[in-house]
Amino acid sequence: MPSSLPRSYKHAVTTVDIEHLKKRMVLVNPDPHFLFDRAVKECKRRPPPARTRKKLEEIKKDSLRCIERAHRFLDAYLGRVVETCPFIEDLHPLFRELLLLSVNVNDYKVCLSRLNSSRKILLKIFREEARRVKSSESSKEVLLARRSFFGRTLSVLETLDKCLKEIKLAQQAFLTLPELDVKLPTVVIAGAPNVGKSTLLRALTRAKPKVSPYPFTTRELIVGVLERKGLKIQLVDTPGLLDTPLEEKNKVERQAVLAIRHIASLIFFVVDPTESCGFPLEFQKTVYDQLSLNFPGIKIVKIANKIDIATKEHIEKLERVFASADFIHVSAENKQNIEKIFETLDSHFSLPDQG
């Protein structure tokens, strides 16, 4: 991290959740002339009572108040931007990997450092021109010092044009991050479209699931939380993300999907043995195989859904195509056999038997 950044910034977001981070972030206006105009307005915000002729000391006081208000606004504004922009290396790996798809980290850090350095330059300008105002021997000299302050200030702001835009782009990327609680153990629900993933999530959680846009895709995550024997567990449905082979996605989408591995403690892979979802079992097996390949080290539990309408022939074909009989058979719609999934959660997360 550039040494010119304030010490408090370096650990500002280590423990801050993403939702709070979004709320506290001061969004920068990328136009330096907008900032300059705001500074000028601050100068004129409280004009003194008009008089026909002012004494020199009054003119000096008015000008000092003017440039002080203008400088105070710019210093506070740039300071808040720097202080509330997160340090990418302190973010959870999921968010960090997603941001790296669109944010040039080196440019971002350099620009934050430049904003902070510019605050020091602006302070130097303010002090120099304030001294000129105080030592002026005529109203004309006061006016020249005041104009010099604003001229030099504008020049500094204009040098920040590229960095203001870079930081704005990074902030926009931050705002697209999904609002997941990375501190909770997380179960990712995957499977082909229409196999009943969302129905299963609703069956397992009482609260209404939260929909969160997922960056670099046109998709959204559906997030629910259940509490099991004192442990909160986050369930994430991934419609459109983990329901088709990865080779059908572009490079950025693939990387965004793979970032999910950073939060998955367990994966529920839902299969529709009846094929009423519109996808044959062979296709569903391809999705499963790619999931196993791309999420190594993460346990995948296979769940056969819709057993309320599945026939013996459906189950036999399911076990033949997957070369496995290791399924939890449920009906998410009717909550049939759902307790078997809860038992799996208890076992995986080593939850105590309260019976």
91-148 confidence digits (pLDDT tens): 999 999 999 888 999 999 999 999 999 999 999 999 999 999 999 999 999 999 999 9
Give exposure, 42-52, as e/b (b: 16+ Cβ within 10 Å). Answer: bbeeeeeeeee
Name residue 120's amino acid. Answer: K
Strand ranges across the sheet with 231-237: 210-213, 220-228, 231-237, 186-190, 264-271, 300-304, 328-329
Q: Report the C-alpha gap between 345 and 355 in whole angstroms.
A: 16
Domain assignment of residue 252, given as a range: 186-348
Q: Report the C-alpha gap between 17 and 8 in whole angstroms.
A: 17
Looking at the structure, tell me whether residues 200 and 72 fall in a common domain. no
Looking at the structure, tell me whether residues 252 and 338 fall in a common domain. yes
Q: Report the C-alpha gap between 254 and 241 in whole angstroms.
A: 9
Confidence band for 351, pLDDT divided at 50, 70 and 90: confident
Rounded average pLDDT over 255-280: 93
Confidence band for 90, pLDDT divided at 50, 70 and 90: confident
Identify whether 151 is part of a domain: yes
Taking the CB of residue 210, how many other CB atoms lie within 10 A of it? 14
Confidence band for 11, pLDDT divided at 50, 70 and 90: very low
- Evaluate if residue 149 carries a pLDDT over 90: yes
Looking at the structure, tell me whether residues 163 and 210 fall in a common domain. no
Q: Which long-range contacts (CB under 8 A, 24 or more apart) does 142-151 make?
A: 142/56, 142/59, 142/60, 142/63, 143/63, 145/63, 146/63, 146/66, 146/67, 149/67, 149/70, 149/125, 150/36, 150/39, 150/40, 150/67, 150/70
Domain count of the chain? 2
Instruction: Output the pLDDT for position 207.
Output: 62
Where is the domain boundary, 117, 151, 175?
A: 175
- Assign residue 328 the CATH number of its domain: 3.40.50.300
Q: In percent, how much of the chain has pLDDT > 70?
A: 92
Confidence band for 354, pLDDT divided at 50, 70 and 90: low
Rounded average pLDDT over 35-51: 82
Query: Which tens digits make up the pLDDT trace of 274-316?
Result: 999 999 999 999 999 999 999 999 999 999 999 999 999 999 9
Identify whether 158 is part of a domain: yes
Confidence band for 47, pLDDT divided at 50, 70 and 90: low
